[in-house]
Structure 1
Amino acid sequence: MKLLFIIQGEGRGHFTQALVMQELARSRGDEVVACLVGKSEHRRLPEYFLSKMKTPVESFVSPNFLPTAQNKRPNLVKSTLYNLLRLPRYVSGMKFIRDKIREYQPDIVVNFYELLTGLTYFFISPQVPMVCVGHQYMFLHRKFRFKKTFSIPMFSLRFFTRMTSLGASKKLALSFYPMPDDYKRGIIVVPPLLRKEVMQLQIADGDYIHGYVLNSGYIEEIKKWHQAHPDMKLDFFWDKRDAPSDMAVDANLSLHRIDDKKFLYYMAGCKAYSTTAGFESVCEALYLQKPVLMVPVHIEQECNAFDAMKVGAGIVSDTFDLNKLLDYIPDYKKNTAFRRWVANADSLIFAELQALYDTMLYPANIPFSLNNR
């Protein structure tokens, strides 16, 4: 199969999932012909992604949140107005996607939650089938329940998620746990895509708290907590563009610019992990059996955190109050079933892609899903 990846370029989760799928595809003899990344002008593509994606990488301007002045939670009103003013550029992005599909002629387009991909399939209707991949498609599942199901933010999240998957042949919903497929909504539940490096790590119980924050404004909260608890060693990662690769604030607080190998090294050896509730890093912590403090930035991450609590990944907080995390550690119970679930990712995900590809070659009598769970 020839696959074309299209990635929503905010955060590290979608990049990591694409890298894992590329490696799995190559090991099976399939080909990733190119990778298109939708991003705002406020983000740059991470070096680890560019160095490991062994195929042409091209970017285009795509709708994204604008952070607040404090660089914490996204400002929905400003973001909406900003994106409306840039509609002509987004139309150009849709044409770019159409032209690249024609140029690379893939068998399947794999969409990692990029909005303009769904809109391209709705308005332009490329003939190549599309498969969507992401944890967010769990939120469309008929059996997914959230404490704020009828809230406006939840409605908006589900609406946005539907927009990313317009015209999709299948939606592969990455999940913390097995769940029946939702055939009516085209949703197939599959395990998370974790890097082989995660599975090969030697786990140790260190004396420090590891962390990751997408928006650098939260670092001030962490510094404030550290001032009151100077003896607790903290190693946090962030995406601040002009920061040095490693910065020692003092003897027990260090800030690191995001680097995938270094990030996993610190994850494997930490006492516990604190994050803004991105799906990918919570999965890594759960696999490495590290208790997690999740501080959601927006409704999507609130859903991630709510879902992660079902499998005992950790606790949720409105702030980076690491006292809560330290108090939780004695009550943390390791989830061994999660590791067995993750081990099935390769076979389950590529069975679905292969089934779709076979449908193109032999249209008769091909089942919607090959998962028999």
Structure 2
Amino acid sequence: MKIFYAIQATGNGHISRATQLYPYLQKYGEVDFFLSGNNATLDIKLPIKFKSKGCSLHYSKCGGLNYWDIVKNIKPRQIYKDADALPLTKYDVIINDFDSITSLACKMQKVHSVQLGHQASFISANTPRPEKKSLMGEMILKHYAPSPKNIGLHFEKYDSFILPPIIKDEIVQAEPTNLKHITVYLPSFDKDCLEKAFNKVSDVHFHWFLQGIEFKHTVGNITYFPVNQKKFNESLISCEGIITGGGFETPAEALYLKKKVLSIPIRSHYEQECNAAALKKMGVPVVYDVGNDFGNIIENWLNTEVIYPAMSANNIPETLQYMFDTYKE
């Protein structure tokens, strides 16, 4: 069997999920990956056969999206060209993790696909949304990368086709410890947006994974790390808690490890606002604006006892078998 797997590289979560799934997919046949977008910072250890700049996210300085940079970097003519060039008719199964180019290519070439990933869960109206819905956000979630079949992944089973998150083997097999540091991963924030707030909480040590850092070093109560999957996993497994965005994979892994989570969703990023709504229902504190009192927010968060619901890990062999069976229907 020949399998085509499209990865939306607007962040590291999609790549992390594909990396975890790859050895399981190899049991079914040969897998070729298509990488669409250029936001990811992880070292990719997958057989990437096709690439496209696709549609990528661009961030403002302190926790928001830069829509001007996003729009000006979209090249519609190139997107159509890239879609037309994908040889999808040569594959038996096409897996799409929220990539618009692959979805367009399927339509142009009249081939079947299945959307497997977190965004597929938003096809269901039962999946949590913020109090104020965004019409544009809903349109993007439902029509950016449509597929006739959808298998969603989310924190809880909000609908029949939604399954638990795919947790990396390193996390599932880990024995969590608490070395009292706080892990930080906030790719939409520049260093100078949060550094002073972290310094104010001088009795707390932070492991801050930050793009642009070339080597690990410590200044005061902050140890700066390059974005590195292995080091991040080690920090997460041994932390007291994590401060992260409103993504899906990182909060899911932290909750699986029973770590404290403080979420700061990217401003005007509708999917992250939806995730934040789901996290709030689970008891996870969410901060929408980081101001002068952020240091106090961190202290209060650490001093408050919370019990989050248990997070299940996806049974990957069962999920893939379900996916392949669904694909044939």
Structure 2 length-normalised TM: 0.90
Instruction: Give the 3-state SS of the residue equivalent to 2:4 in structure 1.
Output: strand
Q: Look up the SS of the partner of 1:319 in the other structure.
A: coil
Contact 2:210 2:227 in 1 (8 A): yes
State whether residues 66 and 78 of structure 1, in contact with CA within 8 Å, keep that contact through their aligned partners in structure 2. yes
Q: In 2, are the aligned partners of 1:9 and 1:45 still within 8 Å (CA)?
A: no
Equivalent runs, 1:55-74 vs 2, <5 Å: 55-68=47-60, 70=61, 72-74=63-65
1:350 aligns to what? 320
> Higher relative CO (CA 8 A, sep ≥ 6), structure 1 or 2?
2
Which residue does 2:272 correspond to in 1?
Answer: 301
Pick from 149, 169, 179 the counterpart of residue 196 of structure 1. Answer: 169
Q: Conserved in 1, the CA contact under 8 Å of 2:263 and 2:287?
A: yes
- Distance change in 2, residues 1:288/1:322 (3 Å): farther
1:141 corresponds to which of 106, 124, 128: 124
Question: What pairs with 1:65-84 in structure 2 (closer than 5 Å)?
Answer: 65-68=57-60, 70=61, 72-83=63-74
- 1:357–1:134: structure 2 CA closer, same or farther, 3 Å change rule? closer
Match of 1:175 in 2: 154
The one-letter amino acid of 2:239's match is C
1:135-284 to structure 2, matched below 5 A, reads 135-150=118-133, 154-166=134-146, 168-181=147-160, 188-217=161-190, 219-240=191-212, 243-248=213-218, 250-284=219-253
Residue correspondence of structure 1 range 332-347 to structure 2 within 5 A: 332-336=306-310, 338-339=311-312, 342-347=313-318
Runs of 4+ that moved beyond 6 A:
none
Do the aligned partners of residues 253 and 204 (structure 1) sit closer, same or farther apart at CA in structure 2, a change above 3 Å counting?
same
Does residue 114 (structure 1) correspond to residue 87 (structure 2)? The answer is: no
Q: How far, CA to CA, are the matches of 1:227 and 1:190 in structure 2?
A: 40
CA distance in 1, matches of 2:104, 2:299: 45
Q: Secondary structure at the match of 1:316?
A: coil
Deviations 1:100-132 (A, max 9, x none): x24xx221111111121222223x1342x2111
The alpha carbon displacement at 1:36 in A equals 0.6
Cα drift, residue 265 of structure 1: 0.6
1:72-99 CA distances to partner (integer Å, 9 max, x unpaired)?
411224423442xx222212221232x3
Query: What does the per-residue CA deviation read over 1:320-346, in whole Å, with 9 as the maximum and x for residues that have no partner?
Result: 82532432343210423x23xx25343
Matched residues, number = 324
The 3-state SS of whatever aligns with 2:95 is strand
Distance 2:66 2:327 in 1: 41
Distance (Å, rounded) in 2 between the aligned partners of 1:142 and 1:334: 24
Identity of aligned residues (%): 19
TM superposition score normalised by structure 1 = 0.80
For residues 345 and 92 of structure 1, do their structure 2 counterparts lie closer, same or farther at Cα, with a shift above 3 Å needed?
same
Higher helix proportion (structure 1 or 2)? 1
Unaligned runs of 5+ in 2: none
Partner of 2:286, secondary structure, is strand
